[in-house]
A = this chain, B = another copy of it.
Amino acid sequence: MAEPSTRTVERALQLLGSVCDAGFLTLADAARGTELSASTALRLLRTLESAGFVRKDDEGAYRPGLRIVQLGAQALSHESIISLAEPALERIVEATGESAYVNVRAHHGPGGEHGLYIAMREGTHSVRHSSWVGRTVPMEGSASGAVLSGKTPKAGYVVVDRGVEADVTAIAAPIAVEMHAPDGTTTGTRVIAALSIVAPSYRMNPEKIKAIGELVAEEAHNVLTAYQQENQP
């Protein structure tokens, strides 16, 4: 029962991922990237196309289709953590002017574990961080990755300067629930998401970082409270 996966579907999904990653791909490129024969790639891409998951542009290249957009938006709307976190994001932006994000652990894919940005509230500064929603970041070397891994110091937040991108500072705090065994004993904590801000480093300084870090940690706790209220009564 190790891997009762269907190869055809796996290949098709891989193809779909390639197209979305690249933005647009020619048939030959897609076939090379997934190590499929051209005929197989063509057949699968056509299937994806007829279902609306990819489409061919004017130049004949394959692009992400609208069905992906639709399903992605639907999926997002079903992620309750996002709507719960939205007020917190808004308050963080209001207080700091920087873009604020919600991160979760991404599906464990090739290349190790990653975090995924699933929601954002844009900052108000004219020089601000543009959207990273949909982007993944490695767990090591990123602030949100650290808190998602459970490596949060007692301060309650993590700061990473120039981690995943130069000249950018990230501050993240975990939204973590306690896990209980059936008998009620606490078995540890599980980080369900992270709240983070991403800002140009030149605008930061130790005091500001401390203030923002404490704010993010506090808001993360507020989100946790809202989350528990929704899942307990």
Contact = CB atoms under 8 A, between A and B. Distances in A.
A62 B116 CA distance: 20
Given A66-B107, A70-B116, A118-B69, A47 B5 contact: yes
A46 interface: yes
A127 interface: no
A106 B13 CA distance: 21
Interface residues of A, number: 56
A232 to B, nearest CB: 14
A166 interface: no
A12 B135 CA distance: 25
B79 A75 contact: no
A90 to B, nearest CB: 11
A76 B10 contact: no
Copies in the complex: 2
Given A63-B78, A65-B107, A107-B65, A134 B6 contact: no
B5 A8 contact: no
Contact of A67 (B24, B78, B107): B107
Interface in A108-133: 108-109, 116-118, 131, 133
A50 interface: yes
Given A12-B6, A48-B9, A71 B64 contact: yes
Given A13-B53, A72-B134, A46 B78 contact: no
B73 A4 contact: no
Interface string A127-150: 000010111100000000000000
B75 A10 contact: no
Given A6-B44, A70-B136, A118-B69, A78 B51 contact: no
Sorted from nearest, which 3 A-B pairs have the closest CB atoms? A72-B72, A73-B134, A52-B107
Given A4-B43, A66-B104, 7 more contacts: A6-B43, A10-B47, A12-B13, A20-B70, A52-B109, A73-B135, A77-B133
